[in-house]
A and B are shown apart, each in its own frame.
Chain A
Amino acid sequence: MSDIKVEGYKTSVILATLGQVFEGYSDEERAAQLKKNNGVFEFRVKDAAGKEASWTIDLKKTGTVKKGEAKSLGLKPDVTIILSDETFVDLADGKTTGQKAFMTGALKTKGNMMLATKLDGVLKSAKGRTKL
């Protein structure tokens, strides 16, 4: 998964895990995920130094995570999510929600905002959940 990781971005670690999760889906699980989310998410993540890196999650056709802007991958982003590395980590850890981050301005979107509301669910699946 080294092709997803970018030095200095915690986001990339989480996205790499997420990529593994997607890869681990059986065909029916993947089909269910695609049906549920049905969109191309583009992320533009700024690190502490203000440098920007991009990743794209395709949950429309292939169910994959890739580095780079959607355009460079030959995809059209349904929603572009602009946020900081820190916010991304908080989202994945469940410390904040997409809505909260959006309301406080920590997260900005371009495109279909309704899709962005599914972000929480997508990111949560990066982490395994233990059971009671």
Chain B
Amino acid sequence: MADRSLQQDLRSILVKSRSIIYHPHLTTAIAEHDMAMARQFFDAQQATGPGPSFSPSQVPPMQDLMSRQFALTAANRGAVPNLNDAWADIQRTQAAHSLPHNAFTSTAWASEFKPAAFTPGPTIQQSVPLVNSTQNSHLIGNGFGTMGSRFGLNAAPQAYLQGFDAHADVKGKGKFQETDFDAAFAQAASSITAAQIEIQSSGDAVDELEKDLNNARLDDVPAATPEDLLGEAEFKSVWEQMQNSDMPPKPEEMAKWEAEFNQLMNAQREEGEWEYSSSMQRAWDEGVAADLDDSFTHNMKFDHEGLPILDPYVFEQNNKYLDPSSSTQSPLALAKQMLEHNASLSEVALLLEAAIQKGELGEGGYEAWILLGETRNMDEREEAGMKALTEGVRSCRRSGCRRYGDAPISYTNESLDRASHTMLMRWLCARFPDVPVPPEAQSSLTRSSWHSHNVVTDAFLTVARTQHAQGVIDPDVQLALGVLFYTNGAYDRAKDCFESALSVRPTDYLLWNRLGSSLSNGNKPEESLGAYREALMLRPTYTRAIYNVGVACLNIGAHKEAAEHLLSALSMQETTGDKSKQLWQTLRRAFIAMDRKDLADLTKRRPLSGRFPFGGVRVLNQS
């Protein structure tokens, strides 16, 4: 870097001698001007001292970005505890800002610039010697800013760049060829400071100055970063604005453009469908629900933590287990027993409903609800399952116990990400009360799901890392992490989590199914079949896994197989009541893909009798 070498030159010279008169890198013409400038700066600095000399109120009314930045610098300066640092900062900033002003006087610049109708130039040049330094710097700021805006209006921005280029050339006697602004600024800054030293080096202030200067140099690297970057960013934004803003076209072009515009607008008006504001409003209103395909979730309401507010659970009518004479055993105990023995999920659900209706809620007043929800979910009845789980979560919250079961998973399946995050967070807090949870994690749950996803994932990762360090794999934590990655579409990572959970609990059919879904939704439906197979080996009545196999087959393109699996899933839901909408819909898709519109039409009738109207698989096999 040329400016760096310049600085080093400068310092070595300073160390050797305190009275340097001439700096080798400066051209005489520019150096003279710079020296004048610098003396002015320096004198003023001496007069006002290193205290805050700029305040926003002193800024002339013609404000612009540059002068505002000056005010900002002044404010910053006040905040810097070390005055020497502050001094150095201000010196550098001033020097940097004064550079473009110097550029006006360079002949190369002037000749570049004249055709571009530059008016405020002379005013500034005159004003420089007259004003005291405080105003001076503002004026320079203004001048530069004005120039900037003039460029935006009148001149091609390139002219500015060229001017700068030329200026850099003159400055460095052709030695410094950087057209890069940063380099040019830094270069100019250091050379001006150099000029200041040269002038003042014979005075009383030499010692003080040198100290300041040394400080400035030493602090250069760290101090340069935040402020200079700030200035740079601001400059860049102004520059980009200038580049992007169109120049006002010539009058004839203007007229042409106007005509075109009117034509366009009229053409659109004729079509009569461009109520932009209303479509905007509509998009906004529907934006939240845009991702949710299901009509069931479409008009859902949520509480402040994103949990859905659902209608109460609807019990099935004619539940045979409600008959007091049917059984002497407790229906809840019987249901648990049946669950263990791989009984029909629909039967188990009926038993659990009976238990709840009879007031046998089990442990903590929520066990039966959670169990019912999980059973309904396994039976691929998401809506009923979610309602039951939500009931369970509510009573769970009331009784102070914390077992949420599959609630987060149910929410995830319906794309209710925030609800899922909330449940996982609650579970984490209940399971690991010792784990410190940052307060923003709790508050994030009331905000967007993007935000809460990050925070909750971080919380779980912290736990998982601690456990990993202890050589423990906690399948529940892995499951939760898997669900979190799954909601975010990171199916590969979800797969890894489920797999590591399976390494601890290899006979967990739920986990196998979840592994399968991570693969299937991650565009690997073929691989998912193996995982689903494991799940179904362990639990043949797992309706959801059968449904998933159907969907995977459909995505592979094996339509007939898909239809078979979906039909058998439907036949699992043998008992009374409404069958899964999703199952019917997917079955219909499979039939249409098979070009069997006649069969597809039959599914629209959605028979409630529990039997498929035409003998199901048999008909399929004949086709």
Contact = CB atoms under 8 A, between A and B. Distances in A.
Contacts of A21: 589
B295 A127 contact: no
Nearest to A23: B592
A37 B409 CA distance: 28
Interface in A78-132: 78, 93-94, 112, 114-115, 117-118, 120-121, 124-125, 127-132
Nearest to B479: A132
A94 B415 CA distance: 15
Interface in B520-536: 520-521, 523, 528
A25 B286 CA distance: 21
Given A24-B600, A28-B295, A114-B280, A131 B544 contact: yes
B586 interface: yes
B361 interface: no
Contact of B551 (A93, A130, A132): A130
B412 A132 contact: yes
A129 B298 CA distance: 17
A26 B523 CA distance: 27
A36 interface: yes
A117 B409 CA distance: 27
B592 A36 contact: no
B516 A130 contact: yes
B276 to A, nearest CB: 8
Given A20-B593, A76-B271, A117-B290, A128 B413 contact: no
A128 B586 contact: yes
Interface in B27-42: none
B298 A36 contact: yes
Contacts, number: 86
Interface residues of B, number: 50
Contacts of B591: 24
Contacts of B503: none
Contacts of A26: 585, 588, 604, 606
B482 to A, nearest CB: 9
Nearest to B516: A130
B589 A24 contact: yes
Contacts of A25: 585
Contacts of A28: 295
Contact of B295 (A32, A78, A128): A32
A107 to B, nearest CB: 17
Contacts of A36: 286, 289, 298
B290 to A, nearest CB: 5
B412 A24 contact: no
B521 A129 contact: yes
A22 to B, nearest CB: 9
Contact of A127 (B291, B298, B486, B555): B555
A129 B528 CA distance: 12
B332 interface: no
Contacts of B544: 131
Contact of B521 (A76, A112, A120, A130): A130
Contact of A125 (B282, B293, B412): B293
Contacts of B382: 131
A129 B294 CA distance: 12
Interface string B536-568: 000000001001100110110000000000000
Contacts of B514: 132
A20 B528 CA distance: 24
B413 A115 contact: no
B279 interface: yes
Given A24-B592, A114-B279, A132 B483 contact: yes
A47 B276 CA distance: 32
A132 B520 contact: no
A74 B356 CA distance: 57
B486 A118 contact: no
Scoring B282, B290, B293, B513 by chain A CB atoms within 10 A of each residue's CB, the highest score goes to B293
B279 A115 contact: yes
B279 A112 contact: yes
B489 interface: yes
Interface string A8-34: 000000000100110111101100100
Contacts of B600: 23-24
B555 A128 contact: yes
Interface string B484-498: 001001000000000
Nearest to B517: A130
Contacts of B597: 23
A21 to B, nearest CB: 6
B273 interface: yes
Interface in B275-306: 276, 279-280, 282-283, 286-287, 289-291, 293, 295, 298
A33 to B, nearest CB: 8
Contacts of B523: 93
B548 A131 contact: yes
B380 to A, nearest CB: 8
A115 to B, nearest CB: 7
Nearest to A94: B489
B315 interface: no
Interface string B322-348: 000000000000000000000000000
Contacts of B22: none
Contact of A117 (B283, B289, B528, B588): B283
Nearest to A129: B521
Contacts of A129: 521, 551
A76 B514 CA distance: 44
B274 interface: yes
A132 B588 contact: no
Contacts of A76: 271, 273
Nearest to A27: B604
Nearest to B590: A24
Contacts of A114: 279-280, 282-283
Contacts of B547: 130-131
B18 to A, nearest CB: 58
A25 B604 CA distance: 8
Nearest to A112: B279
A120 B516 CA distance: 24
Interface of A: 17, 20-21, 23-26, 28-29, 32, 36, 76, 78, 93-94, 112, 114-115, 117-118, 120-121, 124-125, 127-132
19 contacts: A20-B593, A23-B597, A24-B589, A29-B585, A32-B295, A36-B286, A114-B279, A114-B282, A115-B283, A118-B290, A120-B290, A125-B293, A128-B586, A129-B521, A130-B516, A130-B528, A130-B548, A131-B380, A131-B544
Given A128-B554, A128-B555, 8 more contacts: A23-B592, A78-B273, A115-B283, A118-B290, A130-B528, A130-B551, A130-B552, A132-B412
Question: Lowest 10 CB-CB distances: which A-B pairs, in order?
Answer: A128-B551, A24-B588, A130-B548, A114-B283, A130-B517, A130-B520, A32-B295, A20-B592, A24-B589, A131-B413
